[in-house]
């Protein structure tokens, strides 16, 4: 067996016969204890695990640096390479790297879980390109997801390194040396502006790897029970190995190998042959036919080579290469492109691979070798079926010929996907057309290939042949569209997206025709096109990449003490720790000796009886310690909010993902593998999975008490006197939290008296404490729940954290050893809850002036099998059914559908996002019916300051101030005119605009509106602060420290918060509802005021003394320097559902947003051009944090309303599971321009220092994206002569947009010049 040698952060690592199944992230985290590298998705789809890999390229004598996803890189691929993790970039113990400093000061960190990955992506770019462009920076970050920030502050911080940005030296820039007072100017700073101090602390590449090629020349063999890993170093040896192991997988870039390594169901041992060091497969050769590329060429290297060739040769000769750059621009992520190879892409024969479909159209050739010899195959013959090729078991791809284009040959690549980055195609296309002699319009040859239409790449042979011999004109295009429709229809039979895919393919062909006509026959002009529309349709994918920008406007208080930080844009208190990877999350806690790992065994059926549970195979595995199920229960098996759920299912399962048992083992890997080996036998029953099913089966959860309906005014009478009455429906899809840190827990028995420490990322420690105590049959004072921070939560860790905590506590009790459980992403998504899907049926009465007089509304929510918080959140939907509008007569009802889906959970906004978009939807329908501007109808119906809502909450004038201000800020009236003019001229691009207001009351139910805090002052003057809220990235701890800093007039550097613990602050309520600052801030303020009252006599007697002096004197005088603060909201009313009287909220946070979008009617894709937001946050405690919450919430809401499809199948399985299938916004999804202003001269006497809760209200404003898109679709339908009355549901996906626009071939061809 061989030794594996590689370097990590400059340290040589030698592994004797490592397991081939081990991944880099596991070695970094569990062996080397470098936990700065996070694991979030486990499939290379989020970037949290990004590290830099470096190697010495002996062909160029250069050190190359590139970013990779550590969670999918097999450790055996790293022989002779150097890995750099975030720990080596910078440290709070020494110094931060410049890029970390800028990210911190630029407020680009919230929860911080994604931050190390962001840092490493940027770091790898700077090591390769010290002065990148702004677009290169954005491009480098497209493989990194963030659920908190909305990306803008991250981009702004990193953009400062760009050659396009201003000098980071500011006034000290060398360009100012001729100005007065320039003594502090830096010489030649522009030449090194992005390396100011960076080069001084960079890790040096290991000299051993640079000076010697010994590791490059070593053949390797590693073995485990299941996998054999072989690495030859020459083609001859590779071919011999492939002959010996014809079933072996080849690992080139290794981007897919990790998925095979995790497959526990293989029938025989797996053999993997790594081809990374075979120089013959890394060659390049330019000949008269084209460019011969070695199969081991990475997509990134191919990209660079193609750009060099484009610079070297004429445009006509490199047309294919231009199209390949288009494909590579959208291929995976930078981390994937750095590893994935062209040979690997071809060998997978994926129907969706972007490069494959273009090479197929271009007629590339593939060179193949084996011990029997070499052969060359036309790529048309290479692909033979579904994921199959003509490769024989003993053959390998050696080279791929990328042909030069001829002067009369044109090609194009096109792709449509749910989002722009990190996403497989819905449909893609490689299109080629060649003409007869120069200037001829007669088609000589054509080849049209499409991906995504069927189980394999589809070649439109009939349509390709149809155009040969024909002249390029409008008639041909017309007939070709019909031919394509008929031919492609057979490929997509049975696909529910059939019409969408065919229409998109036709749109591709239309764009290709347009491209050819303008390149070859610029004077032909058989298409009428608006100038901007022409630019878009003719641009390459690379040319369409645009930079993002934004402006943030807020006041900073200047007339206060230097140490008073309230109102100041202070960075997140623990941002430096997050930027360096030092911030400790649950699974980062180093394990104790003997620590065990738990994995849940969950149901694979949505409704079934359990016939048998057999863990024998799992228990027989080495390293498995035990198995738990319902027979392991100590006390009661009942749990959940209403004690209607089981910790472990006994006789029946009611949804996929329901816990049946748990495996306990000595490692995560063993536990997960063993859990898959547990055999469960079922007797399946018929499940109910949709709202429509529930309605037809009369399957509903019951409402507690009199809840469920509000009847205000006299709706029936009002309808009789209205000028108009309309009815309609709207569906609102569900949404996954997709917090970056999955649910994790660590339970540690303390060894005596039944005590246990529970380390858990939970929003509701006291609730979890109660459940654990009940499960173990011990009092609560023996259970201590600790939460230091969470990598995002958004409501998803409020209650259902018990799913992993209770089994872990039982295991810790049974084995008397620490137990931890960290859910894998897919399991977390299946079992932990999500935002509810809604169906609304409305009837609205209104008059000719647009004034709405009556609303009758039914809302149905899909609440899964157990009604966790269902009534409360539907109650919120009912309370907000008016949004910001004064409706004199309202009758609204909620229906809680009981289905065989996992229980839903709290999620940012908790019922309000659905209620508001429903309200704005019917308001938009009123405007469309009356043919009046939407903003005018909204203005007519809006509450005014001093009004009282139908649930008796008073309205402040800041509601209308926000609305008026955002119209002014966005220049709304002029924007309307510009958009109307654009839409009249543009046939295929349409713009839309919408403005929506919002009111949202931060808070919890009145009985929960309380909080506690403890503030300890130590003899050195330092302060330790505890409160009942938890930090999940929203800046709660930072604001608490700021409050204390004001009361004590003390620098924030002297104040510390360690964690949230039920052992310190008892009976705390959940951190949610945007109430964390209001409640906990009140408690902190109370405790600090108590201490200052005790110190007042000492300060009065020594007014010139320092804080430390006063503290020392107080201690000498035996004054207690610890205070316990408490706060309960003075507002104690509640809403009486029976009478419809009462006031459930104390105040509202207000805001308004204007969104402008542009949609491509041919494909359904869209760009958010501009967003303007004005928010009333009272007197902001920290405007930078509040702006960050606004931007992050808005982008999350954009996902809800316009991107994220959260879909369950009829069998109850989540079909959009994992980062690859569930698409949250990426950097490319955010507005190109996003301007945020905090409304001036606002206050709020009901919260600490006149602030307002801000975590959730901005999310609601993002429904303006949905309505702007709909506005653009309406313009398209109007042009097509289609009815403005059409179904348009949330989210506004590309499929729905394209279908709703209705621009089929018959409408496309109306643009032809007759």
Instruction: Indicate which residues carry an active-site annotation.
Output: 1256
Bridge-based pairing of strands 220-223 and 11-16 is: unpaired
Q: CB of 839 within 8 A of CB of 860?
A: yes
For tokens 């946050």, name the residue: 1177
Instruction: Quote the DSSP letter at residue 28.
Output: I
Q: How far apart, in whole angstroms, are the C-alpha atoms of residue 1270 and residue 1264?
A: 10
For tokens 């007339």, name the residue: 559
Interacting residues of 702 by C-beta distance below 8 A, sequence separation 6+: 896
Where is 859: in which H helix or E strand?
Answer: strand 852-862
Instruction: Give the max Cα distance, the chain.
Output: 103
152-159 vs 98-105: helix crossing angle, rounded to 10: 140
958-969 vs 934-941: helix crossing angle, rounded to 10: 160
Interacting residues of 240 by C-beta distance below 8 A, sequence separation 6+: 232, 371
For residue 1291, whether the previous peptide bond is cis, meaning omega lies within 30 degrees of 0, is yes
Q: CB of 147 within 8 A of CB of 794?
A: yes
The DSSP secondary structure of 856-883, one letter per residue, reads: EEEEEEE--SS-TTHHHHHHHHHHTTTT
Tokens of 551: 């402006």
Instruction: Encode 296-363 in three state secondary structure.
Output: CCEHHHHHHHHHHHHHHCCCCCCHHHHHHHHHHHCCCCHHHHCCCEHHHHHHHCCCCCHHHHHHHHHC
| Sign, Cα dihedral of 523, 526, 530, 536 | negative
Q: How far apart, in whole angstroms, are the C-alpha atoms of residue 467 and residue 480?
A: 7
DSSP SS3 for 223? strand
Tokens of 993: 């605009």
Q: CB of 940 within 8 A of CB of 952?
A: no
In the sheet that 608-614 helps form, which strands lie side by side, from edge to edge? 652-653, 608-614, 679-684
Q: How far apart, in whole angstroms, are the C-alpha atoms of residue 916 and residue 571?
A: 32
Q: CB of 1217 within 8 A of CB of 830?
A: yes
Tokens of 531: 């100038």
Please provide the distance, in angstroms rounded to a whole number, between the alpha carbons at the two ends of the chain: 75
Q: How far apart, in whole angstroms, are the C-alpha atoms of residue 56 and residue 213?
A: 9
Q: CB of 1234 within 8 A of CB of 1137?
A: no
For tokens 């080495």, name the residue: 622
DSSP SS3 for 144? coil
In the sheet that 427-435 helps form, which strands lie side by side, from edge to edge? 409-416, 427-435, 443-451, 458-459
Q: How far apart, in whole angstroms, are the C-alpha atoms of residue 845 and residue 891?
A: 12
Q: Mark out the alpha helices in 880-1013 (DSSP H runs).
A: 912-930, 934-941, 958-969, 972-985
Bridge-based pairing of strands 62-69 and 50-57 is: antiparallel
Q: Which is nearest to 1250 in space by CA: 1314, 1176, 1165, 1141? A: 1176
Instruction: Quote the DSSP letter at residue 701.
Output: P
Q: CB of 167 within 8 A of CB of 190?
A: yes
Q: CB of 222 within 8 A of CB of 2?
A: yes
């Amino acid at each position: 067996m061989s030794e594996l040698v590689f370097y990590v952060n400059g340290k040589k690592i030698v592994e004797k016969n490592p397991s081939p199944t081990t991944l880099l992230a596991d070695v970094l985290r569990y062996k080397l204890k470098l936990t700065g590298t996070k694991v979030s998705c486990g499939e290379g789809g989020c970037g949290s695990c990004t590290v830099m890999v470096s190697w010495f390229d002996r062909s160029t004598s250069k050190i190359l640096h590139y970013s990779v996803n550590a969670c999918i890189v097999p450790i055996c691929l790293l022989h002779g390479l150097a890995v750099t993790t975030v720990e080596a970039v910078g440290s709070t113990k020494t110094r931060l790297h410049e890029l970390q400093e800028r990210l911190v000061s630029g407020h680009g960190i919230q929860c911080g879980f994604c931050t190390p990955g962001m840092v490493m992506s940027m770091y790898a770019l700077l090591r390769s390109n010290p002065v990148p462009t702004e677009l290169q920076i954005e491009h480098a970050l497209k493989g990194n997801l963030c659920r908190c920030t909305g990306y803008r502050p991250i981009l702004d911080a990193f953009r400062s390194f760009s050659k396009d940005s201003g000098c980071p030296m500011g006034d000290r820039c060398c360009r100012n040396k001729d100005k007065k007072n320039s003594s502090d100017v830096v010489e030649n700073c522009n030449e090194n502006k992005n390396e100011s101090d960076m080069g001084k602390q960079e890790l040096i590449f290991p000299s051993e790897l640079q000076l010697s090629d010994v590791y490059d020349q070593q053949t390797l063999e590693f073995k485990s029970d299941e996998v054999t890993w072989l690495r030859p170093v020459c083609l001859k040896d590779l071919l011999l190995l492939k002959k010996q192991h014809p079933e072996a997988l080849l690992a080139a870039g290794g981007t897919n190998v990790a998925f095979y390594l995790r497959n526990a169901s293989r029938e025989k041992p797996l053999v993997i042959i790594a081809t990374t060091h075979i120089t013959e497969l890394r060659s390049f050769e330019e000949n008269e036919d084209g460019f011969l590329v070695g199969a081991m060429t990475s997509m990134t290297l191919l990209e660079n080579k193609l750009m060099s060739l484009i610079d070297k040769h004429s445009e006509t000769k490199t047309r294919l290469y231009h199209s390949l750059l288009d494909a590579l621009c959208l291929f995976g992520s930078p981390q994937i492109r750095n590893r994935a190879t062209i040979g690997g892409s071809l060998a997978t024969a994926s129907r969706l691979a972007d490069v494959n479909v273009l090479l197929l159209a271009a007629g590339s050739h593939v060179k193949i070798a084996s011990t029997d010899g070499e052969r060359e195959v036309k790529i048309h013959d290479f692909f033979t079926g579904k994921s199959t090729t003509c490769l024989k078991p003993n053959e390998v791809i050696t080279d791929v010929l990328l042909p030069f284009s001829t002067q009369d040959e044109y090609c194009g690549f096109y792709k449509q996907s749910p989002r722009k980055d990190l996403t497989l195609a819905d449909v893609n296309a490689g299109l080629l057309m060649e003409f007869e002699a120069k200037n001829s319009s007669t088609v000589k040859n054509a080849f049209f290939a499409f991906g995504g239409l069927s189980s394999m790449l589809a070649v439109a042979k009939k349509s390709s042949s149809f155009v040969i011999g024909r002249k390029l004109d409008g008639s041909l295009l017309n007939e070709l569209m019909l031919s394509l429709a008929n031919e492609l229809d057979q490929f997509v039979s049975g696909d529910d997206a059939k019409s969408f895919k065919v229409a998109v393919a036709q749109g591709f062909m239309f764009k290709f025709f347009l491209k050819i006509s303008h390149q070859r026959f610029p004077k032909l002009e058989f298409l009428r096109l608006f100038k901007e529309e022409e630019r878009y349709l003719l641009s390459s994918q690379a040319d369409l990449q645009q930079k993002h920008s934004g402006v943030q406007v807020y006041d900073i208080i200047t007339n206060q003490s230097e140490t008073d930080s309230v109102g100041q844009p202070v960075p997140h208190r623990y941002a430096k720790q997050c930027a360096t990877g030092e911030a400790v999350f649950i699974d980062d806690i180093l394990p104790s000796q003997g620590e065990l790992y738990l994995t849940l065994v969950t149901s694979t059926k949505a409704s079934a009886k359990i016939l048998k549970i057999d863990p024998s195979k799992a228990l027989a595995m080495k390293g498995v310690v035990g198995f738990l199920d319902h027979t392991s229960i100590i006390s009661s098996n009942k749990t959940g909010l209403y004690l209607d759920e089981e910790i472990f299912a006994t006789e029946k399962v009611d949804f996929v993902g329901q816990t049946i048992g748990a495996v306990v083992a000595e490692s995560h890997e063993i536990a997960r593998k063993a859990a898959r080996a547990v055999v469960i036998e079922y007797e399946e029953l018929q499940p109910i999975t949709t709202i429509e099913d529930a309605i037809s089966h009369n399957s509903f959860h019951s409402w507690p008490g009199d809840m469920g309906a509000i009847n205000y005014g006299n709706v029936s009478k009002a309808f009789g006197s209205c000028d108009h009455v309309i009815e309609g429906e709207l569906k609102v899809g569900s949404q996954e939290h997709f917090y970056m840190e999955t649910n994790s827990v660590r339970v540690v028995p303390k060894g005596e008296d039944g005590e246990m420490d529970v380390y858990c990322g939970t929003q509701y420690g006291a609730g979890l404490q109660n459940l654990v105590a009940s499960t173990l049959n011990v009092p609560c004072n023996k259970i201590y729940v600790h939460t230091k921070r969470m990598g995002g939560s958004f409501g998803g860790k409020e209650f259902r954290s018990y799913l992993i905590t209770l089994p872990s506590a039982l295991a810790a009790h049974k084995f008397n050893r620490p137990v931890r459980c960290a859910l894998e992403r897919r399991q977390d998504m299946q079992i932990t809850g999500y935002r509810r899907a809604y169906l609304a049926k409305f009837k609205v009465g209104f008059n000719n002036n647009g004034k709405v007089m009556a609303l009758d509304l039914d809302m149905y929510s899909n609440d899964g099998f157990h009604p966790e918080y269902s009534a409360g959140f539907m109650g919120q939907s009912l309370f907000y059914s008016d949004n910001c509008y004064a409706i004199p007569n309202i009758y609204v009802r909620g229906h809680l559908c009981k289905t065989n889906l996992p229980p839903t959970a709290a999620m940012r906004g908790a019922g309000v996002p659905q209620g508001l978009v429903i309200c704005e939807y019917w308001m938009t329908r009123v405007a469309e019916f009356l043919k009046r501007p939407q903003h005018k109808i909204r203005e007519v119906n809006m509450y005014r300051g001093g009004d009282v809502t139908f649930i008796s909450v008073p309205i402040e004038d800041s509601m209308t101030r926000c609305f008026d201000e955002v119209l002014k800020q966005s220049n709304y009236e002029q924007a309307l005119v510009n958009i109307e003019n654009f839409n009249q001229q543009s046939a295929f691009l349409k713009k839309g605009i919408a403005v929506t207001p919002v009111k949202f009351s931060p808070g919890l139910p009145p009985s929960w509106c309380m909080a506690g805090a403890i503030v300890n002052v130590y003899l050195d003057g330092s302060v330790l602060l505890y409160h009942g809220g938890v930090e999940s990235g929203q800046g709660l701890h930072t604001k608490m420290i700021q409050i204390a800093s004001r009361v004590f007039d003390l620098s924030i550097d002297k104040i510390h918060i360690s964690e949230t613990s039920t052992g310190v602050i008892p009976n705390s309520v959940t951190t949610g509802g945007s109430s964390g600052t209001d409640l906990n801030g009140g408690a902190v303020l109370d405790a600090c005021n108590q201490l200052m009252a005790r110190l007042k006599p000492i300060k009065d007697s020594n007014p010139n003394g320092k804080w430390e002096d006063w503290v020392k004197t107080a201690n000498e005088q035996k004054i207690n320097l610890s205070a316990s603060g408490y706060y309960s909201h003075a507002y104690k009313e509640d809403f009486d559902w029976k009478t419809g009287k009462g006031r459930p909220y104390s105040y509202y946070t207000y805001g308004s947003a204007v969104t402008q979008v542009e949609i491509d009617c041919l494909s359904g894709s869209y760009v958010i051009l501009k967003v303007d937001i004005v928010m009333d946050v009272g007197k902001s405690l920290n405007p930078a944090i509040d702006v960050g919450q606004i931007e992050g919430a808005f982008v999350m809401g954009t996902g809800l309303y316009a991107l994220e499809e959260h879909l369950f199948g009829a069998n109850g399985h989540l079909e959009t599971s994992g980062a690859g299938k569930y698409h949250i916004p990426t950097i490319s999804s955010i507005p190109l321009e996003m301007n945020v202003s905090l409304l001036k001269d606002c206050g709020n006497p009901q919260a600490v220092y006149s602030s307002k809760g801000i975590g959730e209200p901005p999310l609601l404003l993002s429904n303006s994206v949905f309505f702007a898109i709909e506005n653009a679709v309406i313009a398209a339908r109007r042009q097509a002569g289609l009815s403005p009355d059409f179904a348009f549901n949330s989210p506004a996906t590309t499929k729905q947009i394209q279908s709703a626009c209705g621009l089929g071939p018959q409408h496309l061809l109306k643009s032809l010049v007759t």
